[in-house]
Amino acid sequence: MTIAELLEHRIIVCCGSGGVGKTSVSAALALRAAGRSTKVVVATIDPARRLATAMGIETLRNEPRRVKLEGANLWAMMLDSKSTFDALISRYATPETRDEILANRFYQAISSRIAGTENYMAMEKLYELDGRKEFGTIVLDTPPTRHALDFLDSPARMQNMLQGSILKWLVKPYFEAGRISLGFLRRGTDRLVSFLDHVFGLQFLHDLSDFFRAFNSMYDGFRERSGKVQQLLLSHDVAFVAVAAPTEISLAEAAAFQSTLEGRGMNFAGFILNRVHGLEAFTQPQRKRLDDWRRSHPDHPAAGVLSNYADYQDLAEAEGRLIDRWIDRGRVLTVLPVLEEDIHDMHGLRRLAECMDAASGGRKRGRRGGTERKKEYS
Amino acid sequence: MLRELLARRLVIVTGKGGVGKSTIATALALLASRQKRTLLVELEAQRSIARFFGKPPAGYEAAEVAPNLSLINITGPEAIRDYLQLIVPVGLLVEKITAHPLYRYFTEAAPGIKELLTFGKIWKLEDEKHRHRPLYDLIVVDGFPTGQALNMFRSPIEVCETLKVGPIASKARHLVDLMRDAEKTAFLLATLPEEMPVAESIELYRTLTRDIRIAYAGIAVNAILPKRFRRENLGRGGEIQRAVGEAFREIGAGDSHVVHAYRAAHEEMRWRLTHEHYLKRLASELPGPFLHLPFVFKSDGGGELVERIAAVMAGEIAVPLRAAR
């Protein structure tokens, strides 16, 4: 697949481990898509402050806002998982239940800090944005997780966690009475429940039972919706991209992501390699002559530039080896170079987007990233 | 810096994802193991640190990976199970509880329990004795990245507030005390000299010292580029450019290499300036000590890299050469 083919998809989801530049890549993809005359939104998690300012989304959270940019119908938003969850509750609960749930301590804990909530809420927001039929292209930057797969598994985990039925079955009579009673616990019909009381204390069980009693009325709606979210992700309108930097951890993660996605029949579009030091490689004799030259000319005015170049040759070679070891070059959508600066404004994003054009065409083999630079510097 | 750092019982390395926490934690532990019995803890590791030592991935039992250095990988489910075994004396009952359909549900749903018991396990290791003295002099934790790390540090505080009574609550209170004991526990920030990691470090420093109240041990700034060039030297048409052209002709490499070499030098200079900018920002917003670590151009990504980083760390202070024990 090429970048141009990728941009034909209605929804593009960027995954990858932390620190690989997912946010910049997502924003640059959105910028590229916006050049194709559709209305585009990029939903991002935690952009660098200067980048957020540049896109005009520093203050407003959780709703798309138009990026001030001539000639591009580009919108951006910052995801806020707590407000997304609250909105979801408000959509399905009756007003009284809603207030009860929102004030429940157990709910507050799961909605703000439970691992996985953020992932699921990113999907939920995606589903909501898609449902508006307002945007031609949606680019989603996923939350930083250690395992990109956490993102994919989040609907199932969320459903599992909020499924009150097991609990309900277990403590049914007490649910109906509204509260877990001490009598029930003392009777010790179930070792686990009495154990939980012992370990967690009654208050926790009360919060929990209050939450599930209230949530129960909306569980079916919630489950139905999360089923639809999963369905959306299985559809071929959605393209998944694994963003990776040329480090072992990041590449290993990206490779694992590809095999899981394909195993699940999801639409894996390919890899975007970011921050790659691409150089035209020396031949071995050239490299030997370079090292000899450096030894014999320690004080030559060019010595600094040459030893620096030797270091970057080493780096590029090591990166190339890692890339070849972990991923299939044929599935690389584009190789993005290290720019000389952090990306913190529209200019930087534009440059990154231009690099995508220059370097797209995943079928090309061998180290890439050098040619597009030449263009800028010669 | 290192002397003070290594005098504690527990050092937790944390920072933004992808800044090199594992390498820093491993190098620190390796250095400590020269004079102390050291335990290195990884949390839910995907790619075990054991690879740095050419060993198979670590499990939930600590195993020696180098002289004086043991490694353990703690996962949430194992920590919870471990805790159950501690408070439920009958083994059969533990089996029953963990096999119960509600068990997994509770361990996933109960906020903070996994993090709390992971933390608890670390402190249990601290408490382990061998012939009446601590089994480990120092525990270095390759900690979670920022968000998850905050969850872990907050977990005992929140559990105290939520549960109030019961064995978990008293365990949590004990953990809070240990965590806030500056003689025993400290965190070491790990960062890169770039915008996002620096911003996150400053924020994390504030939260950890002010809200959570853990002692700060310093900050390791990773992958700093060397200072090689000055802007005026890289001007176009200058002496250097001519010299570079000549040199490449001598070694028989074409013009494209000249362009690339020149570009690499430019890139190096620009990034070095960026690094200097963020080093200054860190210095103005955070107290020291600062541990500056170099960018490594050539490495096999394995043990040799960790040893080099440890050697750089050692250069900051004179590590006593006296053999351990």
**Whole-number pLDDT of residue A12:** 97
Domain range for B92: 2-226+287-314
Buried b (16+ CB within 10 A) or exposed e, B277-298: ebbebbeeebeebbbebebbbe
- pLDDT band for position A236 (50/70/90)? very high
Mean pLDDT, rounded, for B269-277: 92
Distance from CA of A160 to the nearest CA of B (A): 7
% of chain B residues with pLDDT over 90? 46
List chain B residues with CB under 8 Å of A300: 243, 247
Would you say residue B180 has pLDDT above 80? yes
Q: Does B248 fall in a domain?
A: no
What one-character-per-residue DSSP string does B86-134 give? HH---HHHHHHHHHSHHHHHHHHHSTTHHHHHHHHHHHHHHT-EETTEE
* Most confident listed range (A36-40, B101-105, B279-283): B279-283
Q: Where are the beta strands (DSSP E) in A86-160?
A: 137-141
Residue A155 CB burial class (10 angstroms; 0-12, 13-18, ≥19):
buried
Number of domains observed in the structure of chain B: 1
CATH number at residue B101: 3.40.50.300
Distance between CA B269 and CA B277 in Å, rounded?
12
- Read off the pLDDT of residues B191-215 as tens digits, 9 standing for 90 and up: 999 988 999 999 999 999 999 999 9
- pLDDT band for position B105 (50/70/90)? low
State phi, psi for A361 to the nearest 5 degrees.
105, 80
A199 with B243: Cβ contact below 8 A: no
- pLDDT band for position A193 (50/70/90)? low
Distance between CA A377 and CA B255 in Å, rounded?
13
- pLDDT band for position A352 (50/70/90)? very high
From the CB of residue B127, how many other CB atoms can be counted at a distance below 10 Å?
11
Q: Determine the residue of chain A that is closest to B278 in CA distance.
A: A342
**Whole-number pLDDT of residue A267:** 96
What is the Cα Rg of chain B in Å? Answer: 23
Q: Determine the residue of chain A that is closest to B144 in CA distance.
A: A146
Q: Does B250 fall in a domain?
A: no
Residue A154 CB burial class (10 angstroms; 0-12, 13-18, ≥19):
buried
What is the average pLDDT score of chain A?
81
Q: Which residue has the tokens 């601290």?
A: B126
Q: Where are the beta strands (DSSP E) in chain A?
A: 11-15, 40-44, 65-66, 74-78, 137-141, 238-244, 268-276, 332-337
* Beta-ladder partners of B130: B133
Q: Determine the residue of chain A that is closest to B230 in CA distance.
A: A304
**Whole-number pLDDT of residue A328:** 95
The lowest-confidence range among A88-92, A125-129, B228-232 is: B228-232
* A 319-378 → B contacts, CB under 8 A: 322, 338, 340-342, 344, 370, 373-374, 377-378
What one-character-per-residue DSSP string does B241-307 give? HHHHHHHHHHTT--HHHHHHHHHHHHHHHHHHHHHHHHHHHHHHHS-S-EEEEE--SS--SSHHHHH
* A 125-164 → B contacts, CB under 8 A: 144, 146-147, 157, 160-161
**Residue B46: which of B145, B112, B140 has the closest Cα?**
B145
A302 with B244: Cβ contact below 8 A: yes
* Most confident listed range (A156-170, A194-208, B240-254): B240-254
Would you say residue A217 has pLDDT above 50? yes
Give chain B's end-to-end CA distance (angstroms, integer). 22
B196 with A114: Cβ contact below 8 A: no
**Whole-number pLDDT of residue B228:** 86
- Read off the pLDDT of residues B126-149 as tens digits, 9 standing for 90 and up: 999 988 899 999 999 999 988 889
Which spans in B187-233 are helix H? Answer: 195-206
List chain A residues with CB under 8 Å of B246: 302
**Whole-number pLDDT of residue A60:** 66
Would you say residue A363 has pLDDT above 80? no
ipTM value, please give it.
0.84
Q: Does B274 fall in a domain?
A: no
State phi, psi for A240 to the nearest 5 degrees.
-100, 135
Q: Which residue has the tokens 């965190």?
A: B187
* A 180-219 → B contacts, CB under 8 A: 191-192, 195-196, 198-201, 203-204, 207-208
Q: Determine the residue of chain A that is closest to B158 in CA distance.
A: A109
B260 with A370: Cβ contact below 8 A: yes
Q: Does B251 fall in a domain?
A: no
List chain A residues with CB under 8 Å of B81: none
- Read off the pLDDT of residues B249-266 as tens digits, 9 standing for 90 and up: 988 888 888 888 888 898
Q: Which residue has the tokens 């780096």?
A: A315
List chain B residues with CB under 8 Å of A146: 17, 44, 46, 145, 148
Looking only at Cα atoms, what is the longest distance across chain B? 81
Q: Is the dihedral of CA B165, B169, B171, B174 positive or negative?
A: negative
B274 with A342: Cβ contact below 8 A: yes
* Most confident listed range (A20-29, A103-112, A165-174, B92-101): A20-29
- pLDDT band for position B172 (50/70/90)? confident
Q: Determine the residue of chain B that is closest to A107 in CA distance.
A: B111
List chain B residues with CB under 8 Å of A318: 298-299, 301
**Whole-number pLDDT of residue B325:** 29
Distance from CA of B320 to the nearest CA of A (A): 33
Mean pLDDT, rounded, for B82-103: 75
**Whole-number pLDDT of residue B109:** 62
**Whole-number pLDDT of residue A164:** 58
A201 with B168: Cβ contact below 8 A: yes
Distance between CA A250 and CA A245 in Å, rounded?
6
Q: Which of B17, B164, B260 sits opposite A279 (nearest CB)?
A: B260
Q: Decide: helix, strand or coil at residue A62.
A: coil
- Read off the pLDDT of residues A119-174 as tens digits, 9 standing for 90 and up: 888 899 999 999 999 999 999 998 876 676 778 888 887 777 776 555 555 455 44
pTM of the predicted structure, to 2 decimals: 0.85
Tell me if A251 sits within 8 A of B47, measured CB to CB.
no
Tell me if A297 sits within 8 A of A323, measured CB to CB.
no
List chain A residues with CB under 8 Å of B268: 308, 312
* A3-96+110-151+236-281+315-377 CATH: 3.40.50.300
Mean pLDDT, rounded, for B148-173: 82
* DSSP 8-class letter at B207: I
* CA B256 from centre of chain: 41
Would you say residue B30 has pLDDT above 90? yes
Q: Is the dihedral of CA A298, A301, A306, A309 positive or negative?
A: positive
Distance between CA A243 and CA A241 in Å, rounded?
6
Q: Determine the residue of chain B that is closest to A113 in CA distance.
A: B151
- pLDDT band for position B98 (50/70/90)? confident
Mean pLDDT, rounded, for A2-17: 93
Q: Does B319 fall in a domain?
A: no
**Residue A211: which of A110, A90, A80 has the closest Cα?**
A110
Pairing of strands B129-130, B63-66: unpaired
Q: Decide: helix, strand or coil at residue A32.
A: helix
Residues in chain B: 325
- pLDDT band for position B318 (50/70/90)? very low
Distance from CA of B245 to the nearest CA of A (A): 9
State which amino acid sits at residue A79.
Answer: L
